[in-house]
Structure formats: C-alpha cells, structure tokens
Amino acid sequence: MASHSGKEKEPSVFIGAVEDEWDMFSDNPLDYTIGPPIGFGASSIVYTAQYAPRNPSNGSPSSCPCALKVVDLDKLPLQSLRLLRRETQLMSLSKHPNVLRVRGSWMDGHKLFIALRLMNSGSVADVMRYGWPGGMEEEVVKCILRQALEGLNYLHINGFIHRDIKAANLLIDDDGTVLLGDLGVAADLHDDEAAPVASGRSRASFHSGSHSTTRQRDAHVHPSGLKLGKRKSFVGTPAWMAPEIISGKQYDAKADIWSFGITAIELCQGRAPRSRDTPAKVLLRTVQDAPPPFQREGGQYKYSKAFKEIVESCVAKDPAARPTAAELLEMSFFKSAKKKSHLVGTILKNLPPLTKRQERRKLNSGRNSLSEVPSWDFS
C-alpha cells in the first residue's frame, strides 16, 4: 500500500508518546493464520488470528495471538473509504497505552487487512451486555473512565478529537487495560476541514475521494506552537453527540468531553440517556432539552456526589463550561482510581470467551456487532 506524501502539519513527535510495550507485526499475510470471527459489520469482519513471523527479527515474538480486521473495500462508499483511511492512519501513529494501534496491514485484492492487538474481553459495551446490563459500580466505572481519559487526553494534546466516544468504542483486555478504539471519525484540528487527515505520515494508507467543504474556523494555540482550529462536520453517534455538533456550530475537543459524560452515565445505567428514542428525537432533545441528569440513586448501585458533579460538568450545554481531559485527570476523583487489575476481579472474571459471546450475535446489515448504533458522518 502506497503511503501519501506531502507537507506535514503536526509535530513529528507526538506529545506524551511512550515506548510501545507491544511489538509491531509484519505486513506479510503469510505470517498470519486466521481463526474464528469475533465481530461483524456491514463491510468488515474481525477475526482472531495467530501471528507467527516466518522471519522474526531480534526481540520480536515467535508467535502471538492478534486480531485481524478484514474490510471489503468494494462495499464501502467513498465517504466510508475516507473514514477508514483516517482510522488506519491515526491508529498506526498512536503510541499510547490507552489508544489502539495498527500493528500491520496489507491489501489482498479489494480487501484491506488490518492487524491489531487482540483485546480479549471485547468492548466495554459488550462486557456490560453480557454481565452488567444494569450498569456497574462506581469504582469499576472510575477505573474504566480514568484509562479512557488518559487516551483521550493524548489525542487532544496532539490536536485530535475522537468524535465517537462511547462504551462500544472502549476496548478492554483481559488484564483490565482499556483502550480507545474506532478512530474512523476522528478529526485532526491542524488540518483544514477538507484536507485528508494526517497525510504523509501513515504506514498504511490508501486513496479515496473526499467531498468535504472548507469552512472558516477559529483557532487556538497547541502546546507545540501550532494553531488548532475547530470543526463543523456532523459526526458522531446520536445519543452521544454534543449539542454544538447537532446545531451545526463550530466545535473542538470539548465535544469529546460531552460524549465522555454521556458514556459515564451509560456505564452506570447500562445504556446512554435517550438511546431508546429515534435518532431524530435524540438529536432534537439534545439541543432543546436540559442535559440528561445523572441519577445517584434508584438504580442497582449508588454513586457519590463528587461523581455526579463531574458528570454534570461534562454535559454542560456550553462547551466552555466543560473541563478538559487534562483537568479531569487532575481531579482527586480520578486520581484515586484503582489500578486496571481491579477490573479483572470485578467484571471480567466470569465472562465467557469473546468468541463464544460473538457466536450469539448475527451479521446485522449496516451495523457493527459491538455497537448497536452506527456512527454518523455527514461531513
């Protein structure tokens, strides 16, 4: 797959990047043995696989499990091709323990193969669906959200917004590690609205058309000295989408904080507020109604006043009133979060294997099996 070439707009070194503890895989299809499927979409299937390089380099694993996302490009419209390219690029560049990274990719005819770390427990939404349908207790939720915030802050300080934060896009491994996944609708605040994201820096990229319109944007200064702008694309999943996105206003990383707050409620009550409404009604209510309330009591668990105040600050209608991811991480509430191993003994220990859980889910045209509601992008 040919890489793009062009002038780079972002720092060559990502702020907050750390040494990757996981080895990169190869782009050689002969090094992979595909196993059973663990996820289905309208144009893609995710399989378990075994990576066994025929010519291992020094220090690389002789064999290890992984996940392979196989995308049928013939089934994708041009807009989806653009999103897929963006996702693959961002996931290739990521060097943070809480952001999923592409570890190998190749083309075979009209199919794109993307090799990823195998997240054995699936998504947090999947875990809730099978073991915690009414929501989870505060210490568990705090542990999950703290890790998600670490990944989100990494994206934000490097000039990216995720634009689709929800439990279905928080992947969890069997050691309790939580990673941000599904970067397909993420945006780069360094680029103009019409520009391809992260051009010139991907190890896995492919060409597709883009019909976005360039819009005038405000700008603020990134820690690197580069100016960051705002977006105006209509992007996200309705129940998690910030009101400024729905209203067609310019938005920035604070839109992710709204979605983060909605996700916090989702983890506590088992579903996002208004998620049972029609998409049109959800969008209307998000703009016209007061923010969804956070119920401390009345459900399976009770939640602290501090947690309620944090969630309510995240879903403030005025983006300027919401905290940043960095500010949230500095709060004593999240600083007191338990280590990731806490999730192992609380929500993961009795889960059936991911392959067994996914056998119960049938291919659903137009939707990903790990997410009941598809993401929208009307750029």
Annotated binding residues, written as ranges, equal 69
For residues 351 and 131, the answer to whether their CB atoms sit within 8 Å is: yes
Among the listed residues 249, 256, 244, the one whose alpha carbon sits nearest the alpha carbon of residue 157: 256
SS3 category, 76: coil
Give catalytic status of residue 164 as yes or no: yes
For residues 73 and 110, the answer to whether their CB atoms sit within 8 Å is: yes
Find the catalytic residue in 126, 164, 252, 256.
164
Annotated binding residues for ATP, written as ranges, equal 69
State the CB neighbour count (10 A cutoff) for residue 352: 12
CB-based contacts of 302-305 (< 8 A; 24+ apart in sequence): 302/138, 303/138, 303/268, 304/138, 304/333
Alpha-carbon separation of residue 54 from 25, 65, 147 (angstroms): 12, 15, 35
**How would you classify the pairing of strands 44-51 and 187-188?**
unpaired
Q: Which amino acid is at 196?
A: P
For 147: left if phi > 0, alpha if psi spans -120 to 50, otherwise beta; the answer is alpha
Distance in angstroms (rounded) separating the CA atoms of residues 202 and 5: 9
Catalytic residues, which ones?
Answer: 164
